[in-house]
Amino acid sequence: MKIKTKEDRRTRIKYRIRKRVRGTEARPRLTVYRSLAHIYVQVVDDMTGRTIASASSVEPALKGTLGTQANGGNVAGAQVVGKTIAGRLRDKGITRVVFDRNGFLYHGRVKAVADAAREAGLEF
C-alpha cells in the first residue's frame, strides 16, 4: 500500500496495531476515533464481534453535560467522553480493557480519553 495521504498513513498504522491488539470477553478492546469536530469511543469484544458499550460527543445525553467550554473537538470534551465510557463499563462489570488508538497519535484528545477513563476506574 502506497502512502499518498495522511489517511493512508493512519490506516497503515491502524492495521499494524490491530495485528497485535485483540479484545476478549474478559478484556475487551477500547477503540477511539476522532474526527475534526467529534470524538467517538466504543468497546468491542473481538471474539464475538459485538460492541459492548459506546460513547460519543454527538450523543444528546453527552451534549448537555459538555457545557460551554467543552465540545467534541477539544480535550475537555474528550475527557467527558472518557469518563462516560468508563462509567458505562463499570455498570456492566468490566474494569479491564485493551486500548486501541486506531492509528492516531497518543496525544491530545486521544490521550485525554485514555487518561479520563483511567481516572474513572478502568485499567489498561
Q: Considering the chain, what percentage of its residues have pLDDT values greater than 90?
A: 81
Instruction: Identify the pLDDT of residue 2.
Output: 84
Burial of 33 (0-12, 13-18, 19+ CB in 10 A): middle
DSSP state of 72: T
- Express each pLDDT in 75-118 by its tens digit: 999 999 999 999 999 999 999 999 999 999 999 999 999 999 99
Q: pTM, whole model, 2 decimals?
A: 0.89
Assess whether pLDDT exceeds 90 at residue 34.
Answer: yes
pLDDT of 45 reads 96
For residue 76, give the C-alpha cell: 475537555
Q: How far is CA 72 from the centre of its chain?
A: 12
Once rounded to an integer, what is the mean pLDDT over residues 48-68?
88
What is the b/e burial string over 93-124, where b = at least 16 CB atoms within 10 angstroms of the residue's CB? Answer: ebeebbbbbbbbeeeebbbbbbebbeebebee
User: By the 8 A CB rule, do 123 and 90 touch?
Assistant: no
Q: Which fold has domain 6-119?
A: Nucleotidyltransferase; domain 5 (3.30.420)
Q: Where are the domains of the chain?
A: 6-119
Q: pLDDT tens digits, residue range 77-88?
A: 999 999 999 999
By percentage, how much of the chain surpasses pLDDT 70?
99
